[in-house]
Amino acid sequence: MSDLVLIADDDRDIVRFVEVNLKLEGFRVATAHDGDDALTKALTLAPDLVLLDVMMPRMDGYEVCSRLRADSRSAGVPIIMLTAKSLSADKVLGLTAGADDYIIKPFDPMELVERVRSTLERTRERSASPAGPGTPTGAGIEQEIADRLRGDGLVAVAVAGIDHLQPFAERYGAARAGELAALAASVLSRAVEEAAGPGCYVGQASANDFVVILPADRAADFARRAVAGFDVRIPGLYDPEDAAAGTLEYTDATGRRRREPVATISIGVSTGSGTTVADPTILLADAAELRDMAERQPGSSWAGV
């Protein structure tokens, strides 16, 4: 039986648009138009994935996401947030509420279908084999930061993102895009261990976003190692001709030929302690803003500390 996707959005035109495109790709679809209805249907229908709008009447998407993560019946269901907001703080709120990914409106229907497929595939892979040590998913990130802020030392939170991931997925497919995300997790884990030793935290918040928690005095060394390590290893994921060119040609969902740089990594680092920053969301939002600053630089880069 095909996967069931629950679409929750108060804009009925958007719901219909997404529903038609998903059904054309073979998915079963259920719909909801407010937060209460979305929560009820997610718990009773047991969908394979939830597409969840941020702004809805009766209960917003963040609250629905948090409640689904807190209920044993729905804790493992993948959730993609739909939002018209592009600020990093809004993205972080969705991820710390437990979302697996986010898509900003307006979106290309083929991109949405691909994100749905890749999120379902990653969820199945996590179910088939336990996640590697030190690489939990987004639901525990905020609590992990809060726990470490209670300590005496200064804590650094790094938000890392893979740039140009979507063109890579368009060109090579979802499976190899998953390999790229795994490479990034490996690079970050190795960099933080080399810079700060064991006991640090590396969490994957979405398809291309990671969070690292480590001592503040080791954060700059970690960021330098991560950027250099990613750039050394990334050419090996590309076909030889693409790696040699340093660019990637692909056909987008509209049929147009495009050229993009090879994938890079951008890292933002924010610091705080229990006495200076009490809210993990503030640290995450600051780090995400710094990551966005780094992303505007050419190639892999980092900003902060």
Q: Over the stretch 186-227, which tens digit does the pLDDT of each residue have?
A: 899 999 999 999 888 888 776 678 899 999 999 999 999 999
Q: Over the stretch 89-109, which tens digit does the pLDDT of each residue have?
A: 555 555 556 677 778 888 888
- 300: confidence class by pLDDT, cuts 50, 70, 90: very high
- CATH superfamily, domain 4-128, is Response regulator (3.40.50.2300)
| 31 Rama sector, left if φ>0, alpha if ψ -120 to 50, beta otherwise | beta
Domain boundaries, the chain: 4-128, 138-304
pTM: 0.59
DSSP letter at 137 equals B
Place of tokens 């979305």: 38
Instruction: Tell me the DSSP string of 223-292.
Output: HHHHHHHHHHHGGGGS-HHHHHHTEEEEE-TTS-EEEEEPPEEEEEEEEE-TTT---HHHHHHHHHHHHH
CATH, domain 138-304, list 3.90.600.10, 3.30.70.270, 1.10.10.1100, 3.30.1330.10: 3.30.70.270
**pLDDT mean over 23-30:** 94
Pick 175 or 135 by higher pLDDT: 175
**C-alpha closest to that of 27 among 120, 124, 107, 122:** 120
Place of tokens 């209805």: 37
Can you give the pLDDT at residue 137?
42
- How far apart are the two ends of the chain, measured CA to CA in Å? 50
Can you give the pLDDT at residue 254?
65
**pLDDT mean over 147-172:** 83
Can you give the pLDDT at residue 127?
52
Which spans in the chain are helix H?
Answer: 12-24, 35-45, 61-70, 88-96, 109-128, 141-149, 165-172, 174-196, 219-233, 240-245, 280-295
